[in-house]
Amino acid sequence: MLTTRRQAIKTLAAATLGTSLAQFSTQAADTNSSVLVMPGATPAAPEPPPTGPYTMPPLPYGYGGLEPMIDAQTVELHYTKHHAAYVAKLNEAVAKVPSLAKKTNLEEMLKNLSAVPESIRTAVRNNGGGHYNHSLMWQTFSPHGGGFPPGDLTMPICNTFVSFEKFRDECVTAANGLFGSGWVWLVLDHAKKLSVMTTPNQDSPLSVGKYPLFGIDVWEHAYYLKYHNVRSDYISALWNVVDWVVVTKRYGLAMQA
C-alpha cells in the first residue's frame, strides 16, 4: 500500500511539472483579509478555479524558493493541485447559496459554521478550511526564514512555554503524534493567550474560537515526495523556513483587535 501510494504521488508530480500554467496576480486580500502579502516573485499559477468569490493567493516565492527544506515538486503539486482544488470546491459550494455567492469573508464563515446552510456546511468546513489554512501557510514560510522570532513574539512565547526551544519541542511532539491528517497550530485565544493545538483534516482553529498565527501541515501530500513516510524529518526541516517576521506581525495585529 505504501509503495502504491508513493508511486501514485510521484506520477502526479511528474505530470504537473510538464504543464504550462497561466500567470495571475490576485491579491491576497481577495482570499482572506488576515493573510499578509509579502513581496516576491509570483510563479506560474494553476488554471483558475470555477468562477466564484474565492481565488488563489500568489506565492511570495518561486516553487523552488523553499529548497532544500521543501522541494519544488512538492510546492508545485501542493499549490497547483491540492490548494487549487479546495478553492474550486469552495466556490462550487457557495454558488449554491445566493446569499454567499458573492461574499469573500471566509474567516467569518469559518468562525460561524453553524450559520452556514447545512446543505453546504461540510463543504465549507473542509474546503474553506483547506483554502484558509494553506493561504496562511504559504505566507508564513520564506526562503529567508528560520531562527528566532522578533522580541515582540519571543517574550510571549517564553512566558507561556518557558523557552522557545520548549515551545518548538511541544509543536514537534504534537506534529509527530497527530494520527492521520491534520495540522498543528500556534494560536491566540480570546484571552490573548498563546497555546499549541491540533486540528484534524482541514479544520480551522477559527471554528473553535482560536486565531492561528502559523500552522504545520502534516497531511502526507505536504512531505511525501521528499521525506517519504518519515514525518519527523519533515517537521524538523520546517523550522528553517518559518517566517517569524510575518508570524510576529499577525500576533501584533491580533493583540490589537
229 C-beta neighbours (distance < 10 Å), count: 12
Mean per-residue pLDDT, 93-114: 93
Q: By 3-state DSSP, what share of the chain in percent is helix, strand and coil, each rounded to 5?
A: 50, 10, 40
pLDDT band at 30 (very low <50, low <70, confident <90, very high): very low
pLDDT per residue over 36-79, tens digit each?
444 444 454 455 545 789 999 999 999 999 999 999 999 999 99
User: Is pLDDT of 35 > 80?
Assistant: no
Q: How far apart are CA 2 and CA 198, in angstroms?
A: 25
Question: Do the Cβ atoms of 126 and 88 come closer than 8 Å?
Answer: no
- Of residues 200, 203, 208, the one with CA closest to residue 125: 203
Q: In the prediction, which pLDDT does 69 show?
A: 98
207 C-beta neighbours (distance < 10 Å), count: 18
Share of the chain above pLDDT 70, in %: 81
User: Is pLDDT of 28 > 70?
Assistant: no
Amino acid found at 215 = G
Domains, the chain, in order of start with CATH, read 2-139 (1.10.287.990), 151-256 (3.55.40.20)
- Of residues 59, 91, 89, the one with CA closest to residue 76: 59
Report pTM.
0.81
User: Is pLDDT of 150 > 70?
Assistant: yes
176 C-beta neighbours (distance < 10 Å), count: 14
Q: How far apart are CA 169 and CA 223, in angstroms?
A: 20
Grid cell digits, residue 65? 524558493
**Integer-rounded Cα radius of gyration of the chain:** 18
Q: How far is CA 212 from the centre of its chain?
A: 10
